[in-house]
Structure 1
Amino acid sequence: MTGEQARKPLLLTNVKPMAFGAETPGSAVDILIDGNGRIAQVGPQLSVSHEMICVDGKGAWISPGWVDLHVHIWHGGTDISVRPSECGAERGVTTLVDAGSAGEANFHGFREYIIDTARERIKAFLNLGSIGLVACNRVAELRDIRDIDLDRILECYAENSEHIVGIKVRASHVITGSWGATPVKLGKKISKILKVPMMVHVGEPPALYDEVLEILGPGDVITHCFNGKAGSSIMEDEDLFDLAQRCAGEGIRLDIGHGGASFSFKVAEAAIKRGLLPFSISTDLHGHSMNFPVWDLATTMSKLLCVGMPFDKVVAAVTHAPASVIKLSMENRLAVGQRADFTVFDLVDSDVEATDSNGDVSVLMKLFEPRYAVIGSEAIAASRYIPRARRLVRHSHGYSYR
């Protein structure tokens, strides 16, 4: 996050805290944040002065700042990434975790042009492949062993350990060809050396979702956990479902990672009905998924609410859960002296039609509506993303919507 000069104190009034643990007040409060961005006072009906900037929460919820564990924001450095501003504070998200857009060969550019300039907190999973997603799916980053440089990965991490939270591997035949699970095994070895988690994209096999789960351990992340792809859906194979449930119980984190091709209403609803909830909710936002079908984190949260995930679990899945992956402390987030990092939001009645990655449509009867992202002493007005009209684009292999 960028440095911040002292500003006027900020007073948030009439907000209902949730997801702050045992310290959560039981009723609406006011929160005074000093000009240095730190909490000065919390309580009902705090005194107002002309020196303050006052923001009326109008009874909205306030939680720790939302964390999106899977986005692609190396804008200009890859052909699919969006700007942090398009999916960050203005959408109620205060922390963005880039999931492997940059590899060791270009992480320095990602740090200089994205991490160091964004108002949001930016963390990253480093792609196992040296080039990252420079030309995503057109020039795959993991074609063979020549695409991985172990020494340079270790060096890159040593130089950027405050920014890099883990290793990212895309385990799908459209990326690795017939290489199977070998990149996952290599990534796991590196993550053990660095003592960081690994995030693995599961999709079109090989590698098999089953194989990936067997390689991972507690603290690692499976993203696209509720995808509906043939050969990779946990609801088409009872053995795989049982394995996923056991692994989740042992500490492997199941992450949504919606994306353009990796979330199914039917799979999510069936899994949740059987008691298998995702650990974290993330968007996999990029230039090909923002306008269809993802939109933003609030809409993705609303989709999980729609298929049966409880309200409080949804909020935990964008706060405490992803924060634990990136080692972001959630302790005493409402305590005097802590730096302010909040999302103010409502849950409203709705009849919005939303689409999953398979083209199935559901009506969202309740919608998460972000109102503000509070970063230090700044309250940034936030709202859900309004998608632009899709256009049909011709490729050498056919057509797709953008």
Structure 2
Amino acid sequence: MTYDLLLTGAAQGDLAVRDGVIVAVGADLPRDARHVVDVSGRLLTPGLIDLHTHVGPGYWAIDPDPIAWYSGVTTWVDAGSAGAYTLAGLRRVAAEAAVRVPALLNISAIGLAGRTGENRDLANCDTALAIDTIQAHRDLIRGIKVRIDAEAVGVNGVEPLRRGLAAATTCGVPVMVHIGTAPPALDEVLDLLRPGDIVTHCASGIAAPLGPAVRAAAERGVLLDLGHGSGGFAFDVLEAQLDAGLRPNTISTDLHARSLHGPVFDLPTTMAKLLAVGVPLADVIAAVTENPARVLGLPGGTLRVGGPADFAIFEVRAEEFAVTDAHRQVRTSPVRLVNEATYVGGRLLTPRLPAPPAPWIPLTQAQHAALARREHHIRDLLATPLVDVDGLAEQFPRTNPRSS
């Protein structure tokens, strides 16, 4: 019985893959495999699941594949980029991506075509249309996303959330709610949420969710998601929550065109921010694997037989790693997680170069300069011959070679 892939030397034992599925886990599995990869001394995790990303379409969109191969993220939950009117665009992204792209449908039918304001016209927040869209796309849609802050809703307060909750209740799916600048008041938002619903940007320095309503929501089963983003995470808020016995159920990036080049960068860097405030590594890994899988009923998140062969292999570098939040507060992680390989369905993701930032994305001069340096280094690397003469073989030897 030949395996397609065999990972050996992992703390969990050997893992064997056939047809994109884990078929055996145990000590000293037969080495009868097309590809054998020794992961001794490395951290093997299930493929990481990022519960809050924006991979298209619209203002915030990024291409996931050029980031996935070096970050270990195999499942990118698109959190509301598309509404009913724009879902076809997200379907194309999901179909073409090497990674998995489940979605949360934006209650606003226009989705995030622009920077904000999608809930200002309640005609776009059509509950019946959202229900019909979810029912017709159950293979793709796992929940509903509603952004509730002053810019997104205008004078409409929590009404878009009420409509999202009504659609979610009918369809039996959770709601993820974005919190930010009031009005509406944070307590008014939290009090509407049901067990299994998700508050993203749960350690926001802008929304500052530290009052009794946050504890009450968590105690009745509302889930807390980090949702870092460009402005959704503050170390001091997270530390106050941890001191109060509250911890994010899931760690997500809210990775998008404005946060990709900082302050987020990628999910392993975001994970290091939780390590920097004392969350144990095992809990951090659970918050990006089994926990998000459970929240949305996604495949993966574990290394059990019968699950998809989604893996991430990391070097755990025992070195101090300075990390920053959305407000330039700095903490230091005791270790750095460096991805060495990422597999989706048993297939190794190969390197891809990211596209340059869209012209509307604001970047500092330092970010522009760093991007220019990176482009120079890549160009120089690829323009340099791969090996010298000693690394070559004569592919088509002469039959009668002349003397040199």
**Structures share a fold, TM > 0.5?**
yes
Q: Give the superposition deviation at 1:287.
A: 0.7
**Residue identity in the other structure for 1:32:** A
From the superposition, tell whether residues 331 and 168 of structure 1 become closer, same or farther in structure 2 (CA, over 3 Å): closer
Amino acid aligned to 1:260: S
Q: CA-atom RMSD, angstroms?
A: 3.0
Q: Deviation digits for residues 30-82 of structure 1, max 9, x if unmatched?
A: 22212x12334323333435x521212122222222110000001xx312210
Distance in 1 of aligned mates of 2:24 and 2:143: 36
User: Does the 8 Å CA contact 2:47/2:72 hold for their aligned counterparts?
Assistant: yes
Distance 1:223 1:393 in 2: 23
> C-alpha distance in 1, partners of 2:332/2:194?
37
Q: CA deviation at 1:166?
A: 0.8
Residue 175 of structure 2 is matched in structure 1 by 198
Q: Deviation digits for residues 216-268 of structure 1, max 9, x if unmatched?
A: 01010000000101xx2024xxxx2x221221122101000000001001111
The answer to whether the Cα contact below 8 Å between 1:62 and 1:345 also exists between their aligned partners in 2 is yes
Distance in 2 (CA, whole Å) between partners of 1:382 and 1:218 is: 40
Distance 2:360 2:162 in 1: 38
Tell me what 2:108 maps to. 129
Q: Does 1:115 align with 2:73?
A: no
Distance 1:170 1:367, change over 3 A: same
Using the aligned pairs only, state the percent identity.
35
Which structure would you say has the larger Rg? 2
2:37 aligns to what SS in structure 1? strand
**Distance (whole Å) between structure 1 residues aligned to residue 301 and residue 292 of structure 2:** 14
Amino acid corresponding to residue 215 of structure 1 in structure 2: L
Report what 2:402 is aligned to: none
The alignment status of 1:178 with 2:155, answered yes or no, reads: yes
Equivalent residue number for residue 299 of structure 1: 269
User: 1:168: Cα distance to partner?
Assistant: 0.6
SS in structure 2 of the partner of residue 254 of structure 1: strand
Q: For 1:261-294, what per-residue CA distance to the aligned partner results, in whole angstroms no more than 9, with x for missing partners? A: 0100111122112211101000000010011100
**1:309 aligns with one of 255, 279, 288:** 279
After superposition, residues 266-345 of structure 1 pair within 5 angstroms as 266-329=236-299, 333-335=303-305, 337-345=306-314
Are the counterparts in 2 of residues 224 and 255 from structure 1 also a CA contact under 8 Å? yes
What SS class does the counterpart of residue 304 from structure 2 fall into?
coil
1:46 to 20, 29, 50: 29
Q: 2:20 aligns with which of 30, 37, 40?
A: 37
| Structure 2 alignment gaps of length 5 or more | 369-404
8 A contact 1:64–1:333 mirrored in 2? yes
Shift of 1:372: 2.2
Cα distance in structure 2, aligned partners of 1:332 and 1:282: 17
Q: Does 1:98 align with 2:78?
A: yes
TM-score normalised according to structure 2 size: 0.83
Give distance in 2, aligned partners of 1:199 and 1:392: 27
In the comparison of the two structures, how many residue pairs are matched? 367
Whole-angstrom distance in 2 between the partners of 1:301 and 1:117: 27
Letter in 1 for 2:42: A
The 5 Å alignment of 1:246-265 reads: 246-265=216-235
Deviation at 1:201, TM superposition (A): 0.3
Q: Counterparts in 2 of 1:373-392, with a 5 A limit? A: 373-380=342-349
Structure 1 residue aligned with 2:64: 84
2:200 and 2:361 mapped to 1: Cα distance?
Answer: 27
- Asked if structure 2 preserves the Cα contact closer than 8 Å seen for 1:223 and 1:256, the reply is yes
Quick one: distance in 1 between partners of 2:15 and 2:351?
18
Conserved 8 A contact 1:340-1:377: yes
What is the TM-score of this pair, normalised by structure 1?
Answer: 0.84
Residues 272, 309 of structure 1: 8 Å contact kept: no
Q: Is the contact between residue 8 and residue 15 of structure 2 (CA under 8 Å) also seen in structure 1?
A: yes
Indicate the residue corresponding to 1:22 in structure 2. Answer: none
- Partner of 2:11, secondary structure, is strand
Q: Which segment is superposed worse, 254-263 or 172-181?
A: 172-181
2:138 is matched with which residue?
161
On the 8 A contact 1:166/1:191 being kept in 2, the answer is yes
What secondary structure does 2:31 align onto? Answer: coil
Matched residue SS, 1:166 = strand
Q: Which runs of 5+ in 1 are unaligned?
A: 1-6, 18-28
- Give the match for residue 233 of structure 1: 208
- Structure 1: how far apart are the matches of 2:285 and 2:362? 39
Question: Which string of whole-angstrom CA distances, capped at 9 and with x for unpartnered residues, describes residues 134-177 of structure 1?
Answer: 1122xx21112122223322221122111111111110001112
Quick check: 1:345–1:371 contact (8 Å CA) kept in 2?
yes
> Whole-Å Cα distance in 2 between the matches of residues 217 and 104 of structure 1?
23
CA contact (8 A) 1:272 1:308 kept: no
> 1:15 corresponds to which letter in structure 2?
A
